[in-house]
Structure 1
Amino acid sequence: MKKSLMLVALTLIATIGLVALAAQATVLPVYQESLTNPRIFAYRSWQSVGVRVREGDEVRILAQGTWLYTPGEYHGPEGHRRYSSPAFYPLPNVPGGALIGRIGEDGEPFYVGQRVRWRANESGPLYLRIDDDILSDNDGWVAVEVMVITPTPPD
């Protein structure tokens, strides 16, 4: 009887201590840099990278990895060295299978490749994908690192 009463008392004290510690815990912000680099899959359409861009922001994207958009030929985010994207691709006249992006649901596509840096002229969520029309036969992914620098307003 004494042992079970003591066990209940110790459990109660431990629970109260843990609750007190949890109540005092400081919740810190999670910075985007500490998150893992998103993967953009070759077999999916436009994919959000979880970043919202504002007009005037400087945006930098670095990409690495391999994916397949033509049978038997893997390549990187820069696109295929021999095949140019035709007029019916999301972004024509760039290397086929390249990493491309857009800002917002209806934004104009732009070339990303292995790296790109530009100043945004519109606001919205950032989307990336492979430049291809039929995605179901693609394979692989590229990891992207996105950095958004918001300009400091003059004093």
Structure 2
Amino acid sequence: MKRLILLIILPMLALCVFTGLVRSGPQGTINQADLAEKRVYAYRDWQSAGVILHRGDRFTIRAEGEWLYTPVGGYHGPEGHRIYRAPDFYPLPGPRGGCLIGRIGEDGQPFYVGRRYRSTAGSDGVLYLRINDDIFSDNKGS
């Protein structure tokens, strides 16, 4: 039986705060309070969302709010900066720089999350999230 996972992320001023998580299936339900870490920091590399996905799990990630990707570009939402595109050396080249991205497992392929992402897990692994950027020192947040 496939599980349904709903992950809601709230990035605010260079951080993402988990506002809710529902996972239903044979393992039961995971709530936001059960997560060890509820934030995704804009100044850190890949960060565990505290959720293990299994091949076939359906999941949704929703994000809102703002964070700082570059000091000269101003604040923007999880969809990324409206002007700057991610160059080839970013974890996910092509979409906007500073967007919210994810991956399943430590070696998984990055995917664009932005404000909303819905998919079915193609592999087993921990869900990781981060900002699509190569230099974290100029990002703001806690």
State the Cα distance separating 1:31 from its structure 2 match: 4.5
Match of 1:52 in 2: 52
Query: Does 2:97 correspond to 1:96?
Result: yes
Structure 1 runs, 4 residues or longer, greater than 3 Å off: none
Matches within 5 A, 1:1-155: 31-35=29-33, 38-72=38-72, 73-140=74-141
The alignment of Structure 1 onto Structure 2 pairs a total of residues equal to: 112
Amino acid at match of 1:83: Y
Distance 1:38 1:77 in 2: 16
Q: Is the 8 A contact 2:80 2:114 kept in 1?
A: yes
Q: TM-score, normalised to structure 2's length?
A: 0.74
> Which secondary structure state, in structure 1, belongs to the residue aligned with residue 31 of structure 2?
helix
**Residues 68-119 of structure 1, C-alpha deviations (whole Å, 9 max, x = no match):** 1111401111101111100000000001000000000100000000110001
Amino acid at match of 1:38: K
Amino acid at match of 1:40: V
**Residues 107-151 of structure 1, C-alpha deviations (whole Å, 9 max, x = no match):** 00000001100011111000000000001110137xxxxxxxxxx
> Which secondary structure state, in structure 1, belongs to the residue aligned with residue 102 of structure 2?
strand
Q: Is the 8 A contact 1:80 1:98 kept in 2?
A: yes
Distance 1:132 1:81 in 2: 14
Sequence identity (%): 59
Distance 1:99 1:117 in 2: 14
Name the larger-Rg structure. 1
Structure 2: runs of 5 or more not aligned: 1-27
User: As a proportion of its length, which structure holds more helix?
Assistant: 1
Q: TM-score, normalised to structure 1's length?
A: 0.68
Distance 1:136 1:70 in 2: 10
Report the RMSD for the aligned CA atoms in angstroms: 1.8
Structure 1: runs of 5 or more not aligned: 1-29, 142-155
Amino acid at match of 1:41: Y
User: As a proportion of its length, which structure holds more strand?
Assistant: 2
State the Cα distance separating 1:34 from its structure 2 match: 4.3
